[in-house]
Chains A and B, each alone.
Chain A
Amino acid sequence: MSGRFRYDVVIVGAGAGGGTVAAALAPLARAGRRVLLLERGTRHAPEAAVFDEVRATHASYDHPRVDDDVVRLATGRGVGGSTRVSSGVIAAPGGRSVAAWNVPGLDAGDLEGRLVRLAETCGAHFLPPDALNENHRLFADGAARAGFATGAYRVAVRGCRGAAVCGLGCPNDAVQGTHRVQLPVAEAAGVEVITGADVLAVRDRRLEVRVHAPRPGEPDAPWAPGTHLVEAGCVVLAAGAIGTPALLLRSGLGRALPRLGHGITLHPTQWIAAEHPRPITTDVGHPTSLVLDRSETDGWWLEPAFAPPLATALHLGGMGPRHEAMLRAFPRLQMLRAVAIDRAADGHRVTLDADGEPLVQYRLTPAVRRALVQAQRSATRLAFAAGAVRVHAPAAIEAPLERRDIDHIDARLPIDGERLGPVTAVHAMGGAAMGRDAATSVTDAWGRVHGMPWLRIADASLCPDALGVPPALMVMALADRVAEGVQADGGALAEGVA
């Protein structure tokens, strides 16, 4: 071991969960307690280089393996985590989601107060109509003509200039992720943030941490490269719905926590591109602030979105001249994203491969396939109603759909067809769910791991089932509760490291 450190509280992960815990524990740090945050990624600087898709994607995302490659999964890496590479959508789930979780001690009213406060903290607001691009106007107009009701998301952006590449990291740092809102508060109060720090294992209040030498262009790591031992009174894991279960499994806790890794959900997502006869402003302006919400009734939602050329090429499926013709029509593309709400299922779980890396076992269920195709059908109707001349839907037989197919959309997009096309996911949830006891869950309603009061979880892995909205705000609310529990146990923390 290169070094040995001792802290009152150690937080693992700097995304929605870890950033929120760090900010909420700022009073502890100000009171003299030693609070440390370990982040395996780097501290990204906003830069125009985000327009190099390959480089920006490589710098900002991990791609945990999903067995059989059924879904291409991405999780945010670095300070801010997924909140840095999102469009800043702040959406509160309906009360029914939390009630359906049926977690003893998890009070919907308590969560509601936190959701409201945290949304305000992030500066969530509705964009004024004159800030919306044509992709949004076509979405709203097409939906209205096709008979769909649409709604608006609040977004946490400040100083947005409309560069549109939120998913690669805003070059203007406008997205108010935890890297912009919570972590500066925490660091000003004395919370230490160490980047490039990979937590290999956590056992009995001790963390084995490997600090990497910075990659070219990255700032120097505050700790020397090498393996370090960190002792803590309390450990809060916020490495995400894939990272946290994987870390605990790697630490040998699978036997004590039989539900560890189980119940992972992904929000499987597909993209639809519709060609219009003239250029439209999809690639400029905030990319996602409206929604066609069928989450409660049909298990999916649709939203306008923007993907740069490589991502568009990958997301839409297909190959050859037709596929290329779509890419050459890039300035004329209306883009939509269909998200399915998958349910926690027993066989869907985080495991480890032979190298100790996370491997997600997951299958697209018939219900999810049905939801994705239904969403594509609706997207196709919406796009044609908005004036599109051609629609590229990944599940379509002999894609793309032409205007003459308007009366045959269902036949061209069969619910039980063999073809579905590429599926992506960026909203992993579950894997260390809250619940009553160790036989049925991993933590209690305050994120305390059953049988290990020194160990808490504060990220999307707490969710017992998928939400019907993007999960960032709920993750922050759950993390805020976990931090409150840690503060309440302040005295016990000192005993832990004594």
Chain B
Amino acid sequence: MLVLRMTAPILPPLRPVLRPLVAAIAPLADEFAAADWAAAEQLIEDALGEQPAAEVARFARFVRVIGWLAIITTGRSVGHLPPARRRRLLERLAGLPVPPVGRRVERLRRLALLGVWGRVSARTVADWRPDPRGWAARGPGDQVRRTPRPTPTALTLVK
């Protein structure tokens, strides 16, 4: 069910930790201009906006905990760690024998990917060229490849 909450944006106070984590998960974010970050954060905000308030609070708490963990274990803030070390931190958390922590990392991963790859402009990075005309929108090269060679086993079993 859609739960709309009329509250202040969740992400601004989390940015110093969250943005470096997003970029560690999806390196494309390293190339982001301000408008890209705005689009990505809007997608994440919208997704969080549909979560129960308690779940959002847990998410915010988890991001802050990662920020403190980085400082405690490395002496540096998340933003000052190289991306590989940020990822290693997340992977270590995911590998802990405490399933809820692993699930938190997975939720963070999903939100980061949603923000980065959910933007309509991201499809150009993936070179995805969707078109409602389907085959008709493709060039002659694709049209040729449309016709398969005979595949003798392809139609032998009917489910």
Q: Given that A161-B134, A163-B132, A163-B134 are contacting pairs, would A309 and B154 also be in contact in the complex, using a CB cutoff of 8 Å?
A: no
Contact across chains for B157 and A150 when beta carbons are under 8 A apart: yes
In the assembled complex, the Cα of A164 lies from the Cα of B134 at a distance in Å of 7
Query: Which one, B10-18, B21-29, B61-69, B70-78, is touching chain A?
Result: B21-29
* Cβ contacts under 8 Å, B138 to chain A: 281, 284
Q: Given that A68-B103, A126-B155, A310-B118 are contacting pairs, would A285 and B134 also be in contact in the complex, using a CB cutoff of 8 Å?
A: yes
Q: Given that A161-B134, A280-B145, A320-B25 are contacting pairs, would A129 and B127 also be in contact in the complex, using a CB cutoff of 8 Å?
A: no
Contact across chains for B128 and A137 when beta carbons are under 8 A apart: no
* Cβ contacts under 8 Å, B135 to chain A: 161-162, 284-285
**Residue B20, interface by CB 8 Å:** no
Across the interface, A324 reaches (CB within 8 A) one of B27, B118, B142, B152, namely B27
In the assembled complex, the Cα of A134 lies from the Cα of B146 at a distance in Å of 6
Q: List A131-164 residues whose CB lies under 8 Å from chain B.
A: 131-134, 136-137, 140-141, 143-144, 149-154, 160-164
Contact across chains for A310 and B122 when beta carbons are under 8 A apart: yes
* Cβ contacts under 8 Å, A327 to chain B: 117, 125-126
* Cβ contacts under 8 Å, A144 to chain B: 151-153
* Cβ contacts under 8 Å, A133 to chain B: 145-146
Q: List B43-99 residues whose CB lies under 8 Å from chain A.
A: 43, 52, 83-84, 87, 90, 99
**Residue B8, interface by CB 8 Å:** no
**Residue B5, interface by CB 8 Å:** no
Min CB–CB distance A386 → chain B (angstroms): 11
* Cβ contacts under 8 Å, B158 to chain A: 151-152, 154
Contact across chains for A281 and B157 when beta carbons are under 8 A apart: no
**Residue A357, interface by CB 8 Å:** yes
Min CB–CB distance B133 → chain A (angstroms): 6
Closest to A141 in B: B151
In the assembled complex, the Cα of A48 lies from the Cα of B137 at a distance in Å of 14
Q: Given that A52-B120, A69-B107, A320-B87 are contacting pairs, would A283 and B128 also be in contact in the complex, using a CB cutoff of 8 Å?
A: yes
* Cβ contacts under 8 Å, A357 to chain B: 1
**Residue A469, interface by CB 8 Å:** yes
Q: Given that A164-B134, A284-B138 are contacting pairs, would A293 and B87 also be in contact in the complex, using a CB cutoff of 8 Å?
A: no
On chain A, which size bracket covers the interface?
35 or more
* Tally of contact residues, B, Cβ under 8 A: 56
Q: List A302-323 residues whose CB lies under 8 Å from chain B.
A: 308-310, 313-314, 319-321, 323
* Cβ contacts under 8 Å, A320 to chain B: 24-25, 27, 83-84, 87
* Cβ contacts under 8 Å, B109 to chain A: 319
Across the interface, B99 reaches (CB within 8 A) one of A68, A172, A291, A355, namely A68
Q: Given that A54-B43, A357-B1 are contacting pairs, would A324 and B26 also be in contact in the complex, using a CB cutoff of 8 Å?
A: yes
Min CB–CB distance B21 → chain A (angstroms): 10
Main secondary structure of the interface of A (DSSP, over half): mixed
**Residue B7, interface by CB 8 Å:** no
Q: List A453-473 residues whose CB lies under 8 Å from chain B.
A: 469
Closest to B138 in A: A284
Contact across chains for B130 and A283 when beta carbons are under 8 A apart: yes
**Residue A171, interface by CB 8 Å:** yes
**Residue A130, interface by CB 8 Å:** yes
In the assembled complex, the Cα of A132 lies from the Cα of B154 at a distance in Å of 11
**Residue B150, interface by CB 8 Å:** yes
Across the interface, B134 reaches (CB within 8 A) one of A69, A162, A323, A330, namely A162
* Cβ contacts under 8 Å, A469 to chain B: 159
Q: Given that A137-B148, A310-B122, A324-B27 are contacting pairs, would A151 and B106 also be in contact in the complex, using a CB cutoff of 8 Å?
A: no
Contact across chains for A310 and B157 when beta carbons are under 8 A apart: no
Instruction: Taking A134-B145, A149-B153, A152-B155 as given, write out 20 further A-B residue pairs in contact, using a Cβ cutoff of 8 Å, ordered by the A residue number.
Output: A54-B114, A62-B1, A68-B99, A69-B106, A91-B159, A129-B150, A137-B151, A141-B151, A154-B158, A163-B133, A163-B134, A281-B138, A281-B146, A283-B130, A285-B134, A285-B135, A310-B113, A319-B112, A320-B24, A320-B84
Q: Sorted from nearest, which 7 A-B pairs have the closest CB atoms?
A: A151-B157, A162-B134, A161-B134, A137-B148, A171-B132, A140-B151, A330-B126
A-B contact pairs, 11 of them (CB 8 A): A68-B103, A69-B106, A134-B146, A140-B148, A151-B156, A152-B159, A285-B146, A293-B159, A327-B125, A328-B126, A469-B159
